[in-house]
Amino acid sequence: MAVLLETTLGDIVIDLFTEERPKTCLNFLKLCKIKYYNYCLIHNVQRDFIVQTGDPTGTGRGGESIYCKLYGDQARFFDVEKAPRIKHRKKGTVSMVNNGNEQHGSQFLITTGENLDYLDGVHTVFGEVTEGMDVLAKINEAFVDKDFVPFQDIRINHTVILDDPFDDPLDLPVPDRSPEPSKEQLDSGRIGAEEVIDDTEGKEAEELEERLKEKEAKTQAILLEMVGDLPDADVKPPENVLFVCKLNPVTTDEDLEIIFSRFGPIKRYRSPRPDFLLASSQLCSAQGFQHREEGSVSAWLGSNCLSRPTRSLHGLWVEPSD
């Protein structure tokens, strides 16, 4: 009695406790059979604790049991199965999520931590992961926001029933084939879980390294936009902004002011540590114009100062006033 989950990060096989949890397992198996879980987001990833999915809305507030499909809205949820008691002792334990009223719908969780006894008696254990623990580990490492929602979509693309001991209920709405996802289903507002296309063939090592850096910078910019550190992922600083970083630790604010004042009057100056920004009406404009095509503004201040492309910086921008 098992189900294969095909996710955007790989396959996971779940063995079901059909004898201990018949009602919960029937609910899960028949939801898989009607393709209810197809394209569901893994919407809650709490590292070394749990990953949660099974809500077609992707919000954590939706979902319904198979009994709702059969008997109507009054059967949207069903009561938890508490006996026999099965504990959340190991990674890969699969549980149906309690909706807060001692009932279950379609949402389920998979543990990524051990000995989570505070989940016992709340969420109903009905299976365990037997294959794909490496995939579960990848999901566990996903970057998430403050609400534990992954920045990049992780989805269940498809479910395959490997063994089902239960007969299908009458009027079970089994589709002839897997339905195609709608645009609304795939538009989460996050980084899409689209397939990675290998376009590196024939490229030199230096080209590949530069492309990798560009992709990393773009991804970081998108993440910074999502968390509010950048107004827009493609935003650029004014051309009269100078970025200076990695100074010798003994350099003081007064030293910097003296050095840069030689090139023109300093209209505004701020020095947040450890990185800082400095603007000069002459020097910054000149440097900005000189490196405009490269998309960077740089300065050299001693042997321990390093130029950095502006796309890799997301701190304060300082623009001189007229």
Q: Phi and psi for 231 in degrees, rounded to 5?
A: -70, -25
| Contact (Cβ atoms closer than 8 angstroms) between residue 199 and residue 207 | no
Report pLDDT digits (tens) over 246-265: 666 676 767 766 776 766 66
Report pLDDT digits (tens) over 269-291: 555 544 434 433 333 333 333 33
Would you place residue 188 in the very low, low, confident or very high pLDDT band (cuts 50, 70, 90)? confident
Share of the chain above pLDDT 90, in %: 52
Supply angle C-alpha 309, 313, 318, rounded to 5.
Answer: 100
What CA–CA distance (Å, rounded) separates 91 from 80? 22
What CA–CA distance (Å, rounded) separates 285 from 242? 8
pLDDT at position 286: 31
Would you place residue 178 in the very low, low, confident or very high pLDDT band (cuts 50, 70, 90)? confident
> What architecture (CATH level 2) is domain 2-181?
Beta Barrel (2.40)
Lowest mean pLDDT among 132-136, 166-170, 238-242: 238-242
Report pLDDT digits (tens) over 76-117: 999 999 999 999 999 999 999 999 999 999 999 999 999 999
pLDDT at position 184: 80
- The boundaries of every CATH 2.40.100.10 domain in the chain are 2-181
Share of the chain above pLDDT 70, in %: 63
Average pLDDT score over the chain: 79
- The boundaries of every CATH 3.30.70 domain in the chain are 242-312
| Mean pLDDT along residues 2-25 | 97
What CA–CA distance (Å, rounded) separates 113 from 135? 15
pLDDT at position 271: 58
Is the pLDDT at 266 greater than 90? The verdict is: no
Which CATH topology does 242-312 take?
A: Alpha-Beta Plaits (3.30.70)
DSSP 8-state class, residue 123: S
Please list the residues that pair with 126 across neighbouring strands: none
Token pair in block for residue 240: 């009269």
pLDDT at position 308: 40
pLDDT at position 185: 81
What CA–CA distance (Å, rounded) separates 80 from 103? 5
